[in-house]
A and B are shown apart, each in its own frame.
Chain A
Amino acid sequence: MIRFALRRLGWFVLTLWAVVSVSFVLMHAVRGGPFDGERALSPAIEANLNARYHLDWPLLKQYAAYVGPLELGPHRAHFLGGDGMRTFGGVLAGDLGPSFRYRDFSVNDILAQSLPISLALGSVALMFALVVGLSAGLASALWRGTAWDVGLRLFATLGIALPNFVIAGFLVILFVFLVPLFPVAGYGTWRHLVLPGIALGLPFAAYIARLTRTGMLDALSQDWIRTAHAKGLPPHVVVLRHALKSGIVPVVSYLGPAVAGILTGSLVIERIFAIPGLGSHFVNSALNRDYTLAMGVTILYTALVCALNALVDVAYTWLDPRVRLGEPS
């Protein structure tokens, strides 16, 4: 177990390092800089700005300064000139630097503000996806071949097949303008999270329904389930206690990446419902050339994925005793 944890940690650090390096290179390979705008800066002002954010340094030096508190030159490695900007400790010190686009915030501030919002929205979406997906999948598996099954599967495929901005548009017209149940957009109360939660969770619900159906059909055909039936256990016990546990194994493995995806939000949903979450930063930071914010969200996402994958692996051992931790996959 400890060896497993250590090995995981080792890979985690290595992955993180690789991700930081790759995204750093990607960021700086894109044309255009964070201070470009319709109104060109005079060269002197541009030089001043670049100097303040140390964009005039050679790339390798910027990279070193970004990663960690290393001694660079006569002074300590300050990412920023120290002229009123936070002394920058580097990623190793847990400081992700200042944002270029949102100049009044550090990347840490921005993540600290938007992560809880994304978590709140994500949990609504996740709940919706799990409740709807699992029950639809179960129903579909138990009543295999009936009209219910066909209908639910059709619905599930539609949930996957339509772009989410179209689905979100439908939801707004339905539940805001035709039946005024929910606020149209914005963030503030839990009611603001219902529609975006549904729109965000729907494709996941559809996919979970598909996985559950396949998994349950598989489980229900197993010998030991037949044995359980034969032993006279009531059907709901067989289904819910025994078959479900093995039937949702695929769902659990899917949940790892899915939860990371849900929790980090979606640009489309956030734009349409004006939710100030993390999702928009993934895209906008890249478009704004907000180098530090882009790297910050990448690091956060990578950490989240790694953590959730570890969690999924732990969940396996619980769901399927044949799996043991620490064996190479």
Chain B
Amino acid sequence: MALLVSAIVGIGFVLASRATIAPADFTFVNGAEPSSLDPVQVTGVPEARIMRAIFEGLCVLDPVTAQPRPGIAEAWDVSGDELTYTFHLRAGSRWSNGDEVTAFDFRDGFQRLLDPREAAEYAYLLWDVKGAKAWSTTIDDSGAPTLAFDTVAIRTPDPRTLVVALDRPVPWFLYLCAYHPLSPLDRRAMDELRAQFPDSWRLEASRPEHMVTNGPWKVELRRVNDRIRLVRNAGYWDTHNVAFDTIDVLASEQLTTNLNLYLTGAAGYVNEVPANVIPRLRGRADWHPTPYPATYFFRVNVTRPPLDDVRVRRALALAIDRRAITQLVTKGGEVPLESLVPPAMSAITAYVEPSFFGSTGDYEQNVKLARELMDDAGYGPGGKTLRPIELHYNTQSTNKDVAEVIAHGWKQALGVDTRLVNQEKKVALDTQRRLDYDVSRSTWIADFPDPASFLEVFTSDSENNRTGWSSAKYDALVHAALDARGSERARLYGEAEKVLLDELPILPVFAFTTTSLVDPRLEGFHANALDVHFPKFWHFAPQSELRDPDGPSKAGPR
């Protein structure tokens, strides 16, 4: 017995000591473990955060304005019709294996993104490139594309020039060039690996020792659910402006734990804090909630009575006390939202979202309106009784709180009984897809900074619609807007959104803010309208300039 115990303990300590690694220059908490480090495969927010450290596209986004600025491309020309982009790549930028980053690498990366056999979810981002959609979707029985890749208008006249021609103007194209799916690919390294491991090159390619990256850092160590250790990529063109030699990216999902890590100085940046501590964070120097383009809303199944009646939908939408939800439940300064496109979008694109379905902005007034609407629909006092509405939400504490407040409000204002149905995320999505719900919680985060990213969701042919709602007028307006330019485009978007808000297949609630905490010593990190932060700009302020008394360094040993 004693032998057994000491053996177990011995093993434990040997294993524990093996895991010890020196602390990194900077550590931040990244939320969930990334599903992959393959830039064409991943779609999540935590994944994107790592991608910005290990890959660099043609552009990067400015830390303050979130506008595109030169990345691997040192300059670019846009044709007068906004259809042709010519990128001039800088010399002397190298992959982590020493290869030079060339225009061919970008072409190869784009090709891989579009290749149907890669099953990349973000392939559609490039479908506005001439010929790209056709190449991607014309396939033979084995799934391979049948067209030659030179039918796609991506040209490389020389190793440092990349020319991309579009079907229609895409105002956000430069943003896409800063987005990880459009990362370059070192085909030579990949082919080598493919030859070496014909069966398992995919898994091998993502091992730290085989991963080839072109960003400021490369991957040194990966431990599932623990951390990704990044070390400087010495060949990166701007490496002398990169401050940190090593960065630890922690995977940890428990919000309180993440807050604790930050408060003890074990992490310098957390992107989300639990709502119940927010009142205690207000007034701190490191607390800056900033709106960003993501919407919290409910989908309504318009095929089910009584929700097929637009008056009922409108009444339900009016009887949500958005101010109470944002101020007393989510607490992070979220913006009460009465449209689909969040106001943060206007900070980037100057798009002004249209006004709400008759909302007066005052909850009491709105409740009155809502009651009239219900009367109208025949559900008023003495009228038909409304069956209980099922409100689906996926498991998460904020969702539960918001759902409780909405149900309470509907009961108080309209006498509507609501049954809260908590569903595990995958099941919730499945019920949405099968239109097997009444009202179901949803989120949408912009893929690119343009109202289209939101408005395209509810066109009739969109897989993401999931409300049973379709409107030919809406579809026509959205498609017309996509082909238009400038202010005409904004006008058409506005009209389309107006159609959506008149019919209300959704109940918007609020626009998200970031609730992140950032070490006050960290400079080069700015709250910006997209909540996109490229770590290459981060550095610590010199000690002498550190004046902030409330910083996390006070809370514990660093």
Contacts and interface: CB of A to CB of B under 8 A. Distances in A.
Interface of A: 30-33, 36-46, 48-49, 51-52, 82-87, 98, 101-106, 109-110, 113-114, 116-117, 119-124, 126-127, 130, 169, 172, 176-177, 180, 183-190, 193, 248, 252, 270-274, 276-277, 280, 287-289, 315
A283 to B, nearest CB: 11
A49 B119 contact: yes
A257 to B, nearest CB: 15
Contact of A123 (B11, B256, B430, B466): B11
A83 B9 contact: no
B137 to A, nearest CB: 7
A84 B204 CA distance: 9
Nearest to B466: A40
Interface centre among A103, A113, A122 (most CB of B within 10 A): A103
Interface of B: 1, 5, 8-9, 11-13, 15-21, 33, 35-38, 41, 43, 116-121, 123-124, 137, 139, 143, 194, 199-203, 205-207, 222-226, 250-254, 256-257, 260-261, 263-264, 266, 424-427, 429-430, 433, 442-444, 463-464, 466, 556-557
B553 to A, nearest CB: 14
Contact of A38 (B5, B9, B12, B443): B443
Contacts of B18: 116
Nearest to B143: A48
A324 to B, nearest CB: 20
B194 to A, nearest CB: 7
A256 to B, nearest CB: 12
Main secondary structure of the interface of B (DSSP, over half): mixed
Nearest to B444: A38
Nearest to B211: A104
A188 B19 contact: yes
A104 B12 contact: no
Given A84-B200, A110-B224, A123-B12, A104 B206 contact: yes
B43 A37 contact: yes
Contacts of B20: 188-189
A185 B121 contact: no
B143 A39 contact: no
Contacts of B35: 101-103
Contact of B12 (A44, A87, A119): A119
A274 B38 contact: no
A177 B254 CA distance: 18
Interface centre among B12, B263, B444, B466 (most CB of A within 10 A): B12
A123 B9 contact: yes
A103 B207 CA distance: 11
A84 B20 CA distance: 33
20 contacts: A37-B429, A38-B444, A45-B123, A82-B199, A84-B199, A84-B200, A106-B203, A119-B11, A119-B15, A120-B11, A122-B12, A123-B12, A127-B12, A130-B5, A176-B264, A185-B257, A189-B20, A193-B12, A271-B253, A288-B426
